[in-house]
Amino acid sequence: MLGVKVNLKQIVFGMKSKKLQHLIKFMLTFKLNNEPTNIQLTICYNRKSSIFQSHKSYKNSLCTILTKNSNKNRNFPSFKVNHQSKIKMKFLKLLMLFTVISFNLNAQNNSNLKNNQQENTTYAIKNVNVIPMTKENKVIKNATVVLKENKIFSINNSIPENATIIDGTDKWLIPGLIDMHVHTLADGSPFVIYPTKGPLVSYNTQYNMTPYLANGVTTVFDLGARTEHFGQRNEIIRGDVIGPRMALAKVIGGKKSNPIAKNPSDGRNAVRFAKEEGYEFIKAYTWLNKETFKAVIDEAEKHNMKVVGHIPVAFEGKPAKDFFVPHFGLIAHAEELSKQTDDYSYEKAQEFARLAKDNGTWLIPNMTNMLSISQQAKSLQSIENLEGFKYVHPLMQSKWLTSNGYYGASEKLIEYYNKLYEFHILIVKAFKEVGVPMLAGTDAGISGIIWGFSIHDELKLLVEAGLTNEEALASATRLGAEWLEIDNKIGTIETGKFADLVLLDENPLDNINNTRKISGVFVNGKWIDRSKIDIMLLDVERWNNANKEKYDWKELLNSLKN
Ligand SMILES: [Zn+2]
């Protein structure tokens, strides 16, 4: 029995009680003059809604919720509300008025998600096996993990009374995964046609973020960030969208990228602008000349910004020590190294590893992308068959299938790609041997590399290349957090850290593919269980299917020519 006395003001304006928030989407049964009256109530509880504000006069109407009469579906409970003498017909009329308000699924979802920041829910995961991913990584069997607000509150301590219990029996808890190399879709337009025009292509931020969360990715490092990504990050922080933490790197290149830096002075200015714009990291790009590459890195160091990057083509054929300049912190793909040489021996890989170690440069091997390039070169079916393809925005589906830059490569080129992949494996082995930290990064957003889903492919390939399951997991948890310098906040399961966690059905230390067996995800203390993950994914899939015809990459390009 549930007896909660509320007034309309609370329902409409305050929505303070979590249980009452459910009211907004469920069937209410009133009894008036002993006649049951069903009201299908769909209210978007946006507090700024003018509809609610226009009915302030009903704010003192009262009702009493007596029974919660269904537990069949935790997401959609229904309440039976009995009429009390104090319910006035006016109130009923007001509710009837709400029934005519219909909102599309998307609006409903977004409004539901709005709770994100307001919830102060306490959870206790009972009986769970914790893989903390600290350096010692001592697995804690059958533990009780309490999460309060958005932090890990305690491990193996008492359970607060108000905690929602999650049964962790036979399950495994790991830190939320970090993808250290992504390109998240964001609104964009190549040309400004008139001053008040919006982007040519817009995206639903939630749909962009859902595949990350569905795969346990709770932090991403965007290596092609634009202003729009700050907007996305704000949406997440505000609680309008559930999404991962986003670290943003500004690209500085010699051509084909914005801003273009052709000399050291331009390069230094570009870094200063990026700092002022709020970027935390710099990505040095392929086309910088040698002097500008060095100047960009030097200037970034002065502003306390870490540098990730490609290795400019200007260094090709030059001694490898030339591009390991001080403060060059992270190589964005192993491919950068293989492009610098045609010697694909283990000795060469070891030379790179030693130089990286001496310079403090870490590596994102990015195995997934290299392997995918060689597969796409042979067949587009390799993309269509990907597990997450249906969650890829239709414009990108169209681009990857109709304007694929790799498909149809010559036998010789495919052989070359395969050789590069073999060299990637040697690089991973050599970097491991020498002790250079490696980070899991997938290049998600590049054709054939799907946001979120790709992290599991990367982990699998890192293990195939010679990392242990634990080392691979570290590359996507603690080590990524260390490089981003947020390891005091995320990356391991320890009290006081943010509640970014993945609950797995099986042990990933036994088999790295078990990272795919996700029972639920905590992101910033918000619990998304398997059924909710599936609903969120289905939303994306349905929208993609319904809008497929509207997006054609080639048509879009043609429209720009006119
Ligand atoms: Zn990239």
Ligand 1 centroid–CA 258 distance in Å is 15
Q: Is 312 exposed, middle or buried (0-12, 13-18, 19+ CB in 10 A)?
A: buried
- 346-359 helix and 411-434 helix, angle to the nearest 10 degrees: 50
Ligand 1 centroid–CA 72 distance in Å is 45
What would the pLDDT profile of 367-426 be if each residue is shown by its tens digit? 999 999 999 999 999 999 999 999 999 999 999 999 999 999 999 999 999 999 999 999
What would the pLDDT profile of 447-481 be if each residue is shown by its tens digit? 999 999 999 999 999 999 999 999 999 999 999 99
- Residue 200 in any domain: the answer is yes
State whether 269 and 405 are in the same domain: yes
Candidate from 69-78, 138-147, 259-268, 513-522 with smallest mean pLDDT:
69-78
Ligand 1 centroid–CA 283 distance in Å is 10
What would the pLDDT profile of 109-123 be if each residue is shown by its tens digit? 444 444 444 455 899
User: 276: domain range?
Assistant: 177-490+536-550
- Residue 256 in any domain: the answer is yes
Ligand 1 centroid–CA 441 distance in Å is 9
State whether 441 and 300 are in the same domain: yes
Ligand 1 centroid–CA 247 distance in Å is 14
Ligand 1 centroid–CA 223 distance in Å is 6
State whether 81 and 190 are in the same domain: no
How confident is the model at residue 562, as a pLDDT?
Answer: 66
Which residues lie below 8 Å from residue 320, measured CB to CB, with a gap of 6+? 340, 341, 351, 352, 355
Which residues lie below 8 Å from residue 237, measured CB to CB, with a gap of 6+? none
State whether 192 and 329 are in the same domain: yes
- Residue 169 in any domain: the answer is no
Ligand 1 centroid–CA 517 distance in Å is 27
Of 349, 515, 522, the C-alpha closest to 432 is 349
How confident is the model at residue 192, as a pLDDT?
Answer: 65
Q: What is the CATH number of the domain that holds 285?
A: 3.20.20.140
State whether 464 and 349 are in the same domain: yes
Q: What's the mean pLDDT when you consider all of the chain?
A: 83
> Contact at 8 Å (CB) between 522 and 166?
no
> Contact at 8 Å (CB) between 188 and 200?
yes
> Contact at 8 Å (CB) between 428 and 380?
no
State whether 99 and 185 are in the same domain: no
Which of 103, 119, 144 is the last residue before a domain boundary? Answer: 103
- Residue 510 in any domain: the answer is no
State whether 259 and 345 are in the same domain: yes
Ligand 1 centroid–CA 186 distance in Å is 15
How confident is the model at residue 398, as a pLDDT?
Answer: 97
Ligand 1 centroid–CA 151 distance in Å is 31
State whether 196 and 96 are in the same domain: no
Distance CA 118, CA 237 (A): 12
- Residue 152 in any domain: the answer is no
State whether 219 and 99 are in the same domain: no
- Residue 443 in any domain: the answer is yes
State whether 273 and 389 are in the same domain: yes
- Residue 153 in any domain: the answer is no
Tokens of 495: 């009290």
- What domain count does the chain have? 2
State whether 233 and 90 are in the same domain: no
Which of 59, 78, 103 is the last residue before a domain boundary? Answer: 103
State whether 330 and 201 are in the same domain: yes
Count the Cβ atoms, other than its own, within 10 Å of residue 88.
14
